[in-house]
Structure 1
Amino acid sequence: MSVAIVIPARYGSQRLKGKPMLGIAGMSLLERVWRIAKACHGASRVVIATEDERVVAHAASFGAEAVMTSDACTNGTERVAETLDAAGITENAVINFQGDAVLTPPWILEGMIEEFAASPDFDIVTPAVRLTEEALAELKAHKQTAPSSGTTVTFDLHRNALYFSKQIIPYVRKTGFAEVYRHIGMYGYTTASLRRYVALPPSPLEQTEGLEQLRALENGLKVRIVLVDYRGRSHGSVDTPEDIAVVEALIAREGELVGA
């Protein structure tokens, strides 16, 4: 099964205008994300999708393919769906790789691509990482001050998602049976399922928890969980000006994910 990676990159971000072009340790945010996508084995195409010609021009400066999409898109998923036609994507599946996910190791994306190749009997694929006792304790502590931070997921014996929640699930009454997994908010879709998803209205659980993936579950789409390991790398993205220094410090400490 052929897979394309689409990077939605909105110039007019409400919290950080011009975010794709922000400098991160000597390279723009967008170029860093694009280089991660290009380093992935198994992706046949990488396309940047934006609403602003300035992003298209910036993408061209480092040799990336970019297309214009509507300013009316309310989120990255809608922008990726528009890209299917705007870029003439012929691949069977597409991965939505957010344009601010600058610390995502290429092997996370590769795990999603491999899942499509191994058993494409699902509509959507999304990664999750098992939480160690220490990481779980940190998440619980963080939720004391930021209750909506961090999403967890439960899945069946075939790794099909049962539920996603801002609560920590499952509730561990007895240890030694199920682990707690933190969801990583990236999605891969068959092109048919992406078109179906964006045509659906927001669903009750989606609106209650503020999690778009619940729309898929509530409408019977099969969401496959791929289990990944960051291999000692730190997860992070750029959402605020303060995040830039944090990300730069992590890059300085852990090294670059891909070569220049």
Structure 2
Amino acid sequence: MSVLVVIPARYASSRYPGKPLVALTGAGGQARTLIQRSWQAAQAVAGVDRVVVATDDDRIRTTAESFGAEVVMTSESCANGTERVAEAFDRLGGGYDIVVNLQGDAPLTPAWFVEDLVKGLRADPVAEVATPVLRCDGRALAALLDDRRAGRVGGTTAVFGWDRRALYFSKEVIPYTGQDYAPEAETPVFHHVGVYAYRPSALAAYPRWQPGPLEGLEGLEQLRFLERERPVLCVEVEARGRQFWELNNPSDVARIEAMMAEMGIK
């Protein structure tokens, strides 16, 4: 099965305008933009046939092309990353069996997260959409809870059933545990990793659906599938000693740079 990776990137983020062009400094003191680090994360994934950046902004296009990325220009009307990926896929003329949405705010996404995601979708012939989930340890859960206590909208959590079909995604920390955990202890909370793998049929249908109330309230694009009763497969991935965090707010820059320094990511 052929695999296309699309990195959707927009400049006009409501929470963090210009986010794709923010510089992140690695362990060796090398500063690279968020979009370049996301592109490098995509390039490290095995079994991918093509990687493109999808944007509606000339500043992002110029920056992406400067480090060798292929860019597909999309319209300003795309409401979210999935709509932008769908438009980019259409502009490319289709022709791929699986389309991966590697959102441009997750530079710490390890290659095996995406590789395991694609394997999970391939192994489930009924599933049309899949997304990774990562079990939180005590340290990660504490960071999520700290964000909520501070009034910051940070990471997303996921709950799913025995068949790994998603029950819900939320920017609140779910499920409620009411417990304290040691930093290295496993918890029952799963951090949703902002990556998606779609079959073309699901990707083509998505932009035709009107957003539902839950998507509007949470601001989470994947809820459109659940509100349309389209199952979303949750693929559990393993950290293997790596820390994971997404860049959602300006305060996340220092957090991600500290993680990069700790893990030796240049």
Q: Same fold (TM over 0.5)?
A: yes
The aligned length equals 254
* Contact 1:24–1:244 under 8 Å retained in 2: yes
Corresponding position of 1:53? 58
Residue 157 of structure 1 deviates from its aligned partner by 2.0
Q: Which residue does the alignment assign to 2:197?
A: 188
Q: How does 1:73-88 map to 2 (within 5 A)?
A: 73-88=78-93
Give 1:94-173 correspondences, 5 Å limit: 94-133=99-138, 135-136=140-141, 138-140=143-145, 142-146=147-151, 149-171=154-176
* Structure 1 partner of 2:260: 251
Q: For 1:221, what is the secondary structure of its paired residue?
A: coil
Which residue of 2 is the match for residue 231 of structure 1? 240
Structure 1 unaligned blocks of 5 or more:
none
| Alpha carbons 1:126, 1:224 under 8 Å: kept | yes
Structure 1 residues 149 and 62, CA gap change in structure 2 (3 angstroms): closer
The alignment's TM-score, normalised by the length of structure 2, stands at 0.83
After TM superposition, the structure 1 stretch with the greater mean CA deviation from structure 2, 79-88 or 114-123, is: 114-123
Q: Distance in 1 between matches of 2:142 and 2:96?
A: 41
Name the CA shift for 1:249/1:160 in 2 (closer, same or farther; >3 Å). Answer: same
Quick check: 142-151 or 160-169, which moved more? 142-151
What is the distance in 2 between the residues matched to 1:250 and 1:169?
24
Q: What is aligned with 1:201?
A: 210
Shift of 1:114: 1.3
Tell me the C-alpha RMSD between the 2 structures. 2.6
- Residues 255 and 134 (structure 1), Cα distance of their counterparts in 2 relative to 1, 3 Å cut: closer
User: Quick one: distance in 2 between partners of 1:14 and 1:165?
Assistant: 18
Cα displacement (A) at 1:223? 0.5
1:9-88 equivalence runs, <5 A:
9-25=9-25, 26-88=31-93
- The DSSP-based 3-state class of the residue aligned with 2:244 is coil
Structure 2 Cα separation of the partners of residues 206 and 250 of structure 1 = 31
When the two structures are superposed, what TM-score results if normalisation uses the length of structure 1?
0.85
Residue 219 (structure 1) aligns with: 228
Consecutive unaligned residues of structure 2, counting only runs of 5 or more, are 26-30, 179-186
Q: Distance in 2 between matches of 1:133 and 1:235?
A: 13
Shift of 1:129: 1.3
Partner of 1:4: 4
Give 1:191's aligned amino acid: P
Structure 1 residue 168, shift from structure 2 partner: 4.0
CA distance in 1, matches of 2:137, 2:64: 38
**Which residue is equivalent to 2:182?**
none
Secondary structure of the equivalent of 1:230? coil
Q: 1:187, 1:132 → 2: CA distance?
A: 23
